[in-house]
Amino acid sequence: MALITKYFSDFTDAQLQQFSLLEELYTDWNSKINVISRKDLDSLYEKHVLHSLTIATAFDFPAGSNIVDLGTGGGFPGIPLAIFFPEVKFHLVDSIGKKIKVVDAVAEGLGLKNVTTRHGRIEEIKDRKFDFVVSRAVAPLKDLWTWSKPLLKKPNPNNPGNQPGLICLKGGDLHAEISESGCRPRVMEIFEIFQEAYFREKFMLYVPA
């Protein structure tokens, strides 16, 4: 928890309580349904929560925005972002039902009113459009972009600084993956934002719609 307040300072008491509850909730639920490795659970705030909040360092989602978390797994990056942006709506999607069960329970335990979930594949969403798609190490960029494009709202020429797009967190050498995707993402090095060794060779990619 100290790792979060090391980098972010202006949280409300309610947000601080929600962030501090994450460890207890995930430890409890992970003992019933394994969604986080034991090793990673011991570093929950670094490897999952702070990593998710990388997105909040570069994007300030306006109140009322709609964000979809593609392949949310245990709720990352969606749950930490939903705490960070209480006025933004987050829709967390995963094809594995037990993971969505954990996400629902954690969101309820935190009292998050801005989180909805869907058990299913992202391609099955036909009736909604979103301001941003967020994702963390789910699939190659080519696939992420193929899935994201139909879900994104059209760019707003009156607001060029906050255009709809895909924001994904990835690691390793991405040259081949980016080349194969046909995209020209903006690439941000996370280690330049958070100085923990874990974030070396980890990146945030943004592909505008």
- Binned at pLDDT 50, 70 and 90, residue 156 comes out as confident
pLDDT in tens, 163-209: 999 999 999 999 999 999 999 999 999 999 999 999 999 999 999 99
- Binned at pLDDT 50, 70 and 90, residue 161 comes out as low
Q: What is the mean pLDDT of the chain?
A: 95
Q: Is there a binding annotation on residue 24?
A: no
pLDDT in tens, 32-85: 988 888 878 889 999 999 999 999 999 999 999 999 999 999 999 999 999 999
Do residues 122 and 151 make contact, with C-beta atoms less than 8 angstroms apart? yes
pLDDT at 37: 84
Q: Is there a binding annotation on residue 67?
A: no
Q: Is there a binding annotation on residue 136?
A: yes
In this predicted structure, the answer to whether residue 160 has a pLDDT above a threshold of 70 is no
Q: Is there a binding annotation on residue 19?
A: no
pLDDT in tens, 102-126: 999 999 999 999 999 999 999 999 9
Distances (CA, A) of 110 to 52, 82, 93: 17, 10, 18
Domains along the sequence of the chain with CATH: 2-208 (3.40.50.150)
**Distance separating alpha carbons of residues 168 and 110, to the nearest angstrom:** 25
Structure tokens at 146: 């193929």
Q: Is there a binding annotation on residue 123?
A: yes
**Distance separating alpha carbons of residues 187 and 189, to the nearest angstrom:** 7
In this predicted structure, the answer to whether residue 101 has a pLDDT above a threshold of 70 is yes
Sheet of strand 132-136, all strands in order from the earlier edge strand to the far edge? 115-119, 89-94, 66-70, 132-136, 165-171, 202-208, 186-189
